[in-house]
Structure 1
């Protein structure tokens, strides 16, 4: 557990009226002094927390250093992305900022290091202490949620989410795995100037405004199943399916040429595992040089995978976001959207329509290498939190 703590903040807050509960801004990474611009665009309210979703096309360390200078008395959580979601919808090459006004939110953030060799008791104790301290503060903030950002190449998101969620008790958790575009080489998270890989940042927030944590996916399981017969669970590699070479057998089952499997194939022909009464996608990242399948999330021998068929991505997103607005439209939504959804939209020529839907519903966030919802690390979903004034 890193010693980095929440920064000490003034009790005085500037609560200038705004129709949005959150403050959001974005800028192209090619601009000079981007964080200075973002601070200006976030307005004059005193912010208790700023989240930065940073394109991998820019020097992450430089952006984090600028943020420390621009927000000296504010907690700053940052991560690299697999694409950004701004007020214009799907984007690339941006730095996106989300500000939480101090008069409307109370937050605490923890940096959890070495997550593939986790000191579980230490982490659980620290989370419990911070959660109780936040709840004991005499504030009229009855709504809460937790946001977990994880190194998307750590191979540890499943264990981490399952460990953290129970310690939060009744605080609902969502989150996303930091990305590196489609390069899959290096991902980072940061808290208050401390940059780490193989790490996560957990933010626990209380709000005076109603919040709703959600997860959505547009996939329907079919009757077509396959069994993982040989795997390396630590590296999330499936070597054989149905006792046949994994990539070749997967290609046969989905009717594709094994020599032409790519990210578009995996996005349009996902596989899922049944957990209780529901299915959760176990997304394929790539085929390695041995003809094995590398996954984004936990996999093991004996696991039964089901081929899933996607519904219309844009129609489904529109429907689900409209449902979030059934009684009242949220002023803002933070979304963690799987990179495979973006790839599927590109393949289906729905990128523009998806971007318009996200923009219409005021979704801000980033494309991820995986999503967290409660104790689960999942793929091919959007996890998020909506904010309501009433």
Structure 2
């Protein structure tokens, strides 16, 4: 059982209620920046996803332990999980890994770089716990309670065909800038093109520095090229001193490319249709970036997006960042499509 819940539910009595309702059923989850429910995009809700034991088995571990700077050996932990699900259901042929991170721990790049090699060919996706637009308090949920500064990995084995995917609706432009001063550990950029970061970014996207807001960052993200592909590096906010804080690690010397967008509604419908070419999934469990949510709100497209999500059986949450195999990414729609056991995977 997986639960995604509004930050308003981050309270001890919520944990008690979850434990009472689900009893001995294993439950994992996190706080969110918004919820994707069976009725579409919502805020202030609690969403639960059940994985029936006649089709799924799972093994969950902390790969970054709560309330400590010590990490367990990630490779050993992941191999234990893979062996556990293989012993439980040796005849089931499909596996995927689901990673939940504390969205304010700012360690996702390191975690996925260490976890993914141990998974081998098992695809991974995940999301960073959110706190609406507050950026104050996030947590994951496991073992009957909330945990901060933790990363939680669940390996699923299933007899259902699955497809782990990632997409975004952005492409690169010819407008580029260079990070000339940064603190990667804190995800802070102080200078771009040897100029104060916020002011130079604003100039490059045609805005006044005083206009910068999460809505501007959602509409005009920057991208980096990794392995021949472009990925969004989303900006979280402007600090009081004019630095830009990102949702991912940004290093000095990195070339940032201003992105251009497709229509987010048409793009989402097209990409979900691709996942249904050989039959509709029973469910799509998704992690969607908070900046996509802000763009949808800004374009007044929430009703259309909700209808598409409902039509394609999407359920999930809005994140402070997404994980896909070895990458920590931003402003994407990432998840797993789960098909009926009789379906044939392409």
TM category (shorter chain) comes to over 0.9
Match for residue 279 of structure 1? 230
Q: Where does 1:209-358 land on structure 2 (aligned, <5 Å)?
A: 209-358=160-309
* 1:91 matched residue in structure 2: 42
The C-alpha deviation readout for 1:130-154, integer Å capped at 9, x for no partner, is 2112113344321110000101111
Q: Structure 1 residues 209 and 76, CA, compared in 2 at 3 Å: closer, same or farther?
A: same
Runs of 4 or more above 6 Å deviation? none
How many residues are matched?
A: 340
Q: Does 1:102 align with 2:56?
A: no
In structure 2, the residue corresponding to 1:249 is in which secondary structure? helix
Cα shift at 1:298: 0.9
In structure 1, what is the Cα distance between the partners aligned to 2:216 and 2:31?
25
Distance across 2 between alignment mates of 1:64 and 1:164: 28
- Answering whether residue 319 of structure 2 is matched by residue 368 of structure 1, we say yes
Equivalent pair of 2:126/2:287 in contact (CA under 8 Å): yes
Greater CA deviation, 160-169 or 238-247?
160-169
Listed as ranges, the gaps of 5+ residues in structure 1 are 1-49
Supply the distance in 2 between the matched residues of 1:297 and 1:62 (Cα, whole angstroms).
Answer: 33
* Contact map agreement 1:116 1:155 (CA 8 A) in 2: no
Contact 2:57 2:89 in 1 (8 A): no
Shift of 1:119: 3.2
**Pairwise mapping of residues 69-148 of structure 1 onto structure 2 (< 5 A)?**
69-111=20-62, 112-113=64-65, 117=69, 119=71, 122-148=73-99
The DSSP-based 3-state class of the residue aligned with 1:341 is: helix
Q: 1:200 to 1:322 in 2, by over 3 A?
A: same
The 5-angstrom pairing of residues 174-193 of structure 1 reads: 174-193=125-144
* 1:88 Cα offset (Å): 1.3
Note the C-alpha offset of 1:166.
Answer: 0.8
The aligned counterpart of 2:114 is: 163
* Contact 1:68–1:192 (CA under 8 A) maintained in structure 2: no
Q: What is the TM-score with the length of structure 1 in the denominator?
A: 0.85
Distance verdict in 2 for CA 1:279–1:115, change over 3 Å: farther
Q: Counterparts of 1:384 and 1:118 in 2: how far apart (Å)?
A: 29
Deviation at residue 256 of structure 1 after TM alignment? 0.3
- CA shift digits 1:103-150 (9 cap, x unpaired): 110101112315994536x22212111211211334432111000010
Paired residue for 1:154?
A: 105
Residues 319/138 of structure 1: CA separation in 2 closer, same or farther (3 Å cut): closer
CA drift of 1:156 comes to 0.2
CA distance in structure 1 between the partners assigned to 2:69 and 2:179 by the alignment: 26
Q: Deviations over 1:13-66 (max 9, x none)?
A: xxxxxxxxxxxxxxxxxxxxxxxxxxxxxxxxxxxxx11101012244322222
Q: Are the equivalent residues in 1 in contact too, given 2:59–2:84 (CA < 8 A)?
A: no
How much does 1:331 deviate?
Answer: 1.1
Query: Which secondary structure state, in structure 2, belongs to the residue aligned with residue 79 of structure 1?
Result: strand
